[in-house]
C-alpha cells in the first residue's frame, strides 16, 4: 500500500479493494516504526486520523466521495490545525494549539483527505536543510547523514520514505522545490495568490505560497485541485477559477509544440558537474517527447539571492513582531518589565537563524537604510520579474536544475549563513516574480536524487503538471524507493 500513488490508492478506495481506516492504520504503523530515525513528524495525530478515516469510509460507501476521500496526507507544521499543536518548528510556538484550521487544511479535509500529522520544518520556514528546527533535524531517507532540504524537509522526507503518499508544503524561496529535488519527489509551488494563505503562519507575505508534495505530477494535480481557489479571508488570494488540473494528463500524449527555455545563467558555474550532466539528459527526454528546448537569458539572475535576503528578512521582521510573549506562544519566566518580557521571550523562543533574519530585516527597514536596501531591492525585484516576462514571450516554460548540488551533509553548511542561502540560487527568483514552479525527479548522482525545475508563466500550473506528467510516463526516477523504505 505504501508504494502506491494517490491516484492508485484513490482507485482502490473507490473500488472497495481497501478501506480508508485500514490504510490509515497501515501508514500510522509504518510511521511509528520508521520515523524515529527520520524525524519527519513533529506531531502524529493517530486518533484524529482514524476518526477522519472512518468518516471517509462512510462517504466512500454512500457514494459521496471525491478523488481524495480516504487518502492519508501530512501537513507541514506551519498550517494551523484546530486542536492540534502548530509549532512552525519553533520553541516560540511549542505551547501553541491552533484554535482554527487553515484554509488549506479545511479544503483538504472537506475533500476527505485523512491527516496523519504535522511534519517537521526549518524554524518559521527559514532554512534550506531542515536543520534549524527546534525539534531536531530531519534526515534524508536516501542517506541519513544528509539533509532532506528545507524548509519543507519533513513533508519531503515523509513522502520519499513512503510514510504518506502526499503532504502539504510551503515555498518562499524554494522550500517546496528544493527538498523535493533532494529527496527525489515532485513538488509544486503555485502562482502567488493561487492558494489561500489564511491560517498559514506568515514568513514573507509577498513571497509565501502553499503547495502539494507527492511522488508524481498527477498526485500533485489531485492535491492542488483541492487546495487552490479564491478565499475571501486572504486579501492576496486571486479570484480566478481553478482549472481541471487532471484534464491535460489523460491517456498517452507528447509535448509537440511545447517550447522550453533553459536560462544560461542556471547552467553556469556553481552548478555541480554531475548534476549538470543529469539535467542535460533530462532535457533530452523533453526533446524526445517533442518539445523544443533552447537557451534563454535571465540577465539579472545573479541578483535574486541578494534581493531576497533584503525582502524576505524585512517582511519576516514585521511578521514575527507578533511573537511577544503576551497573547500566545512562549513567555520567559519572571520578566522584570514589559521590555524585558519582549526581549527575553523572543530571545528564548527563536533560534539563531530566525534571529539573524529578524536582525537583517530590522536593519534594512530602519531609518537611513530603507532607501538603500529595501527600496533598492524592490526595484531590482521588478527587473528580475521583467526578465521572466521577456523570456515567456519566446518560450512556454523554463527548465533547469532545482538545486546546484545533491543533498549535502548535516552540519556542512551551518558555519556561514551565506553558504546555505546559495542552495536556493535557482528557486528564489521564481518567488520574487510570483511565478509557479515545480521540481520533479530527473535522475541520480552517486545514489542521491537530482531534481529538474520547471517554471511557468502566472497561473500556468496545468502546463507545468502536464509536462512533468509526460516526463514521468517516459521515465521511472519517481518510482525509485530509498533503501530501507521499500
| Active-site residue list | 76, 151, 175
Task: Tell me the closest approach of the beta carbon of residue 357 to another protein, in angstroms.
Answer: 9
Nearer to another protein, 79 or 309 (CB): 309
Give me the count of residues in the chain.
486
Nearer to another protein, 247 or 347 (CB): 347
Nearer to another protein, 215 or 330 (CB): 330
Q: Is 114 helix (H, G, I), strand (E, B) or coil?
A: strand
Task: Tell me the closest approach of the beta carbon of residue 347 to another protein, in angstroms.
Answer: 4
> Phi and psi for 400 in degrees, rounded to 5?
175, -175
Which of 39, 19, 10, 7 has the alpha carbon at shortest distance from 161? 39
Sheet holding 437-445, edge to edge: 41-44, 114-119, 72-76, 166-171, 209-214, 186-189, 437-445, 448-456, 397-401, 259-263, 292-296
Question: DSSP letter at 371?
Answer: I
**Residue 440 to residue 279: CA distance in whole angstroms:** 11
Task: Tell me the closest approach of the beta carbon of residue 275 to another protein, in angstroms.
Answer: 23
List the grid coordinates of 194: 493561487
Nearer to another protein, 45 or 191 (CB): 191
Burial class (CB in 10 A: 0-12, 13-18, 19+), 72: buried
Task: Tell me the closest approach of the beta carbon of residue 132 to another protein, in angstroms.
Answer: 14
- What residues are paired with 211 via a beta bridge? 169
Task: Tell me the closest approach of the beta carbon of residue 128 to another protein, in angstroms.
Answer: 14
Ordered alpha helix ranges (H), 184-303: 217-227, 273-288
Provide the CB-side half-sphere exposure for 269 (13 A, CA).
Answer: 0
Provide the CB-side half-sphere exposure for 412 (13 A, CA).
Answer: 15
Region of residue 180 (left: phi > 0; alpha: psi -120 to 50; beta: else): alpha
Which of 474, 12, 138 has the alpha carbon at shortest distance from 287? 474
224, 242, 250, 256 from 246: Cα distances, Å: 10, 11, 7, 19
List the grid coordinates of 253: 500524449
Task: Tell me the closest approach of the beta carbon of residue 242 to another protein, in angstroms.
Answer: 17
- What residues are paired with 107 via a beta bridge? none
Q: Is 259 helix (H, G, I), strand (E, B) or coil?
A: strand
Task: Tell me the closest approach of the beta carbon of residue 309 to another protein, in angstroms.
Answer: 6
**Residue 39 to residue 404: CA distance in whole angstroms:** 25
Nearer to another protein, 99 or 484 (CB): 99
CB 289 within 8 A of CB 255: yes
Nearer to another protein, 436 or 441 (CB): 436
Residue owning grid cell 547523514: 145
Nearer to another protein, 406 or 431 (CB): 431
Nearer to another protein, 247 or 372 (CB): 372
Task: Tell me the closest approach of the beta carbon of residue 375 to another protein, in angstroms.
Answer: 6
**Residue 177 to residue 124: CA distance in whole angstroms:** 17
What b/e string do you get for 201-213 counting C-beta neighbours within 10 Å, with b at 16 or more? bbbbebbbbbbbb
Task: Tell me the closest approach of the beta carbon of residue 109 to another protein, in angstroms.
Answer: 19
CB atoms within 10 A of CB 26: 14
Nearer to another protein, 162 or 458 (CB): 458
The strand pair at 72-76 and 114-119 is best described as parallel
Amino acid at each position: 500500500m505504501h508504494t502506491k500513488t494517490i491516484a492508485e490508492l484513490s482507485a482502490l478506495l473507490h473500488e472497495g479493494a481497501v478501506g480508508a481506516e485500514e490504510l490509515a492504520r497501515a501508514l500510522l504503523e509504518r510511521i511509528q516504526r520508521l520515523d524515529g530515525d527520520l524525524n519527519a513528524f513533529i506531531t502524529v495525530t493517530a486518533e484524529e486520523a482514524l476518526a477522519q478515516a472512518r468518516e471517509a469510509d462512510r462517504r466512500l460507501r454512500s457514494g459521496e466521495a471525491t478523488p481524495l476521500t480516504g487518502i492519508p496526507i501530512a501537513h507541514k507544521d506551519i498550517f494551523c490545525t484546530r486542536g492540534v499543536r502548530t509549532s512552525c518548528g519553533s520553541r516560540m510556538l511549542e505551547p501553541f494549539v491552533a484554535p482554527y484550521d487553515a484554509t488549506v487544511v479545511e479544503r483538504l479535509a472537506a475533500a476527505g483527505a485523512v491527516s496523519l500529522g504535522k511534519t517537521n520544518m526549518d524554524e518559521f520556514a527559514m532554512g534550506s536543510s531542515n536543520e534549524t528546527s527546534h525539534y531536531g533535524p530531519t534526515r534524508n531517507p536516501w542517506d541519513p547523514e544528509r539533509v532532506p532540504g528545507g524548509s519543507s524537509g519533513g513533508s519531503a522526507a515523509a513522502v520519499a520514505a513512503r510514510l504518506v503518499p502526499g503532504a502539504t508544503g510551503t515555498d518562499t524561496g524554494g522550500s517546496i522545490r528544493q527538498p523535493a529535488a533532494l529527496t527525489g519527489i515532485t513538488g509544486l509551488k503555485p502562482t502567488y495568490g493561487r492558494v489561500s494563505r489564511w491560517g498559514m503562519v506568515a514568513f514573507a507575505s509577498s513571497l509565501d505560497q502553499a503547495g502539494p508534495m507527492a511522488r508524481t505530477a498527477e498526485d500533485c494535480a489531485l492535491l492542488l485541485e483541492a487546495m487552490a481557489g479564491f478565499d475571501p479571508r486572504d486579501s492576496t488570494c486571486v479570484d480566478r477559477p481553478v482549472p481541471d488540473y487532471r484534464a491535460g494528463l489523460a491517456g498517452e500524449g507528447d509535448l509537440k509544440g511545447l517550447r522550453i527555455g533553459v536560462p544560461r545563467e542556471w547552467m553556469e558555474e556553481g552548478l555541480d558537474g554531475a548534476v549538470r550532466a543529469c539535467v542535460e539528459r533530462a532535457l533530452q527526454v523533453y526533446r524526445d517527447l517533442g518539445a523544443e528546448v533552447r537557451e534563454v537569458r535571465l540577465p539579472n539572475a545573479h541578483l535574486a539571492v541578494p534581493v531576497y535576503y533584503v525582502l524576505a528578512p524585512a517582511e519576516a521582521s514585521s511578521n514575527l513582531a507578533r511573537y511577544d510573549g503576551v497573547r500566545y506562544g512562549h513567555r520567559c519566566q519572571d520578566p522584570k518589565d514589559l521590555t524585558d518580557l519582549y526581549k527575553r521571550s523572543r530571545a528564548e523562543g527563536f533560534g539563531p537563524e530566525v534571529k539573524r533574519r529578524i536582525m537583517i530585516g530590522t536593519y534594512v527597514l530602519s531609518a537611513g537604510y530603507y532607501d538603500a536596501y529595501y527600496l533598492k531591492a524592490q526595484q531590482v525585484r521588478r527587473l528580475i520579474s521583467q526578465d521572466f516576462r521577456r523570456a515567456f514571450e519566446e518560450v512556454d516554460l523554463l527548465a533547469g536544475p532545482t538545486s546546484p548540488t545533491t543533498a549535502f551533509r548535516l552540519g556542512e553548511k551551518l558555519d556561514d549563513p551565506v553558504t546555505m542561502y546559495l542552495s536556493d540560487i535557482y528557486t528564489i527568483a521564481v518567488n520574487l516574480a510570483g511565478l509557479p514552479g515545480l521540481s520533479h525527479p530527473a535522475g541520480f548522482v552517486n545514489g542521491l536524487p537530482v531534481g529538474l525545475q520547471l517554471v511557468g508563466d502566472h497561473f500556468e500550473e496545468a502546463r507545468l503538471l502536464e509536462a512533468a506528467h509526460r516526463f514521468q510516463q517516459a521515465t521511472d526516477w519517481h518510482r525509485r524507493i530509498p533503501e530501507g523504505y521499500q
